[in-house]
Chain A
Amino acid sequence: MLLGMGSVFLMLIVLMAVLMLLGYQKKTKESTPAHAENELDEVALTELEPIDENLWMTIADESGLTPEQIAAVSVAVAVHADVRRKQGAPAHRVYAPGSRLWASRWVAMGRSSQMTNQRRR
């Protein structure tokens, strides 16, 4: 028993060591360029203008739009897509487009029980 359990433990410890070694090598590989990047960032940050602390998020955009304008455009696009989808739907649809009511198994069960004739002939 000791021999068996000892062998299992020994082999898994060897595997664990190999896995840790793999992880360690990856970390050292990653850390070398990361240091260089950090140094560059620090240099760049000192050259840039001071960051506004009230800003919690910065949206980078090449068009020069402000974050508020980008947010407004996003909302407008989403609303427009919704309206167009509703307009494109057939007039006699059972459910409102996008409602996903058809996906409810309870609704489906209710409908199927309505459609089934329960009365004995």
Chain B
Amino acid sequence: MDASTIQNLLTGFLNLTWQGGVMMVVGILLIWLAIYKEYEPLLLLPIGAGCLLANMPISMMVGTETEPGMLQVFYDVGVGNELFPLLIFIGIGAMTDFGPLLENPKMMLLGAAGQFGIFLTLVLALLLGFTRPEAASIGIIGAIDGPTSIYVSAQLAPHLLGPITVAAYSYMSLVPIIMPPVMRLLTTKKERSIRMPYTSREISQTTRIVFPIVVTIIVGILVPFALPLIGTLMLGNLMRESKVVERLSGAAENELNNVVTLFLGLAIGSTMVGENFIKPQTLFILVLGLLAFCLDTAAGVLFGKLMNLFSGGKFNPLIGAAGISAFPMAARVVQKEVSREDHGNFVLMHAMGANAAGQVASAMAGGVVLALMAGVV
């Protein structure tokens, strides 16, 4: 047995690096969070697995430039060209009921307020020394919408895709923990107890069909950069509401979404390679992402307080917090907080309206960020 054979047999051991080791632990941590804590398991488990596989010594799953491995192929096919986030948006559109928003269009304003965190974080990231495209990619974590974050950061700062995606999805799963303290801090017990009567207004089938078409046309004309995100979201919703292509809408929300989620998670995980990931800026991204979440919630609640002022004390400001995009978890958290003060108070449908608006607003904000950065990149 010659020396080269022995070297080949020991290749794994010889190529172990401490960065790779650390990232393998991170990968296992993500898998643990997904399985035992059930934090966004659909995403965190494939991301953790992708991270683990990509950080193995001379990982054959990532491969080389000439011979790309499976993970690299997934990345090139769907993340590098922003295909996967858009396919997921079709599924999200097919799953989302915009009825509560159509019943109360004023909730659109809360959706806009829920995006303040993006721009505040962008400014903070600039102050910390990130370049403008990097700062915009970090700020977009504040959209609290995974596919939007991936879509925008893949275009503006692909080298930060790993930490940004992990931050976005990890914090999204922590919405029930992050939001309540901010909500309680900014509101009084009296404000949280405000009851808002809800009368269900029947939305006609025509309105439900016209909504996605109108939104696509308006956004497509006003901000063409947001068209891929809004267009796919609304396509999914049109399939759902038309009720004539149930097979397609069913496939979009189940099979397509499941398959793309798996591929996307693995591809994102494969970007978390030790040498690129273990840097001080990753820590900054995680901290800024958390800040963006808190700022979004705070801006939503403060805007809710403003609406409360204008409505003569009839609007529960907590509903403003549901203007972020984490759908429908944010609305559930708002209802939980309201129920904490008053068991008989039901604001869920109002909160769902604001939450659906947040879904549209986050995609729009992503487009606006891309439009603003178009000249820079």
Residues of A contacting B222 with CB < 8 Å? Answer: 11, 14
Complex: how many Å from CA A19 to CA B204?
Answer: 13
B193 at interface (Cβ–Cβ under 8 A)? Answer: no
Do A4 and B106 have beta carbons less than 8 Å apart?
A: no
B207 touches A13 (CB 8 A): no
Would you give the 0/1 interface string for B110-136, flagging 1 where the beta carbon is closer than 8 Å to chain A?
Answer: 011001101110110000000000000
Q: Which residues of chain A in 1-58 are interfacial with respect to chain B, using CB atoms and an 8 Å cutoff?
A: 1, 3-5, 7-9, 11-16, 18-20, 22-23, 26
Take A1-B123, A7-B368, A11-B223 as given contacts and tell me if A26 and B207 are in contact as well, using a CB distance cutoff of 8 Å: yes
Provide the bound-state CA to CA distance between A22 and B115, in Å: 25
For B357, the closest partner residue in chain A by CB is: A12
Residue of chain A at shortest CB distance from B110: A12
Total of A-B residue pairs, C-beta within 8 Å: 73
Stretch of B48-56, B69-77, B213-221, B308-316 on the interface side: B213-221
Q: Which residues does chain A contribute within 8 Å of B214, judged by CB atoms? A: 18, 22
Q: Which residues in chain B, 50-102, are within 8 Å of chain A measured between CB atoms?
A: 101-102
**Nearest CB in chain B: distance from A25 CB, A:** 9
SS class, residues of chain B in contact with chain A:
helix
B109 with A11: CB separation less than 8 A: no
Q: With A and B bound together, what is the CA distance between A20 and B108 in angstroms? A: 11
Query: Which one of B105, B112, B360, B361 contacts A23 once the chains associate, using CB atoms below 8 Å?
Result: B105
Indicate if the CB atoms of B108 and A12 lie closer than 8 Å. yes
Whether A26 touches B369, Cβ cut-off 8 Å, given contacts A12-B109, A16-B109, is: no
Given A4-B369, A26-B204, verify A16-B115 contact (CB < 8 Å).
Answer: no
Check: B364 CB closer than 8 A to any chain A CB. Answer: yes
**CA separation between A15 and B371, bound complex, in Å?**
19
Residue of A nearest to B107 (CB): A16
Q: Does B365 contact A (CB under 8 A)?
A: yes
Q: How far is it, in angstroms, between the C-alpha of A15 and the C-alpha of B106 when the chains are bound?
A: 10
How many Å lie between the Cα of A1 and that of B292 in the bound state?
14
CB<8 Å pairs between A and B, sample of 9? A4-B118, A5-B115, A5-B116, A7-B368, A12-B112, A13-B112, A14-B218, A18-B218, A22-B211
Which residues does B use to contact A, with CB under 8 Å? 101-102, 105-106, 108-109, 111-112, 115-116, 118-120, 122-123, 204, 207, 210-211, 214-215, 218-219, 222-223, 357, 360-361, 364-365, 368-369, 371-372
Binding site for B on A (CB under 8 A): 1, 3-5, 7-9, 11-16, 18-20, 22-23, 26
Can you list the 3 inter-chain pairs with the closest CB atoms, starting with the nearest? A19-B105, A16-B108, A1-B119
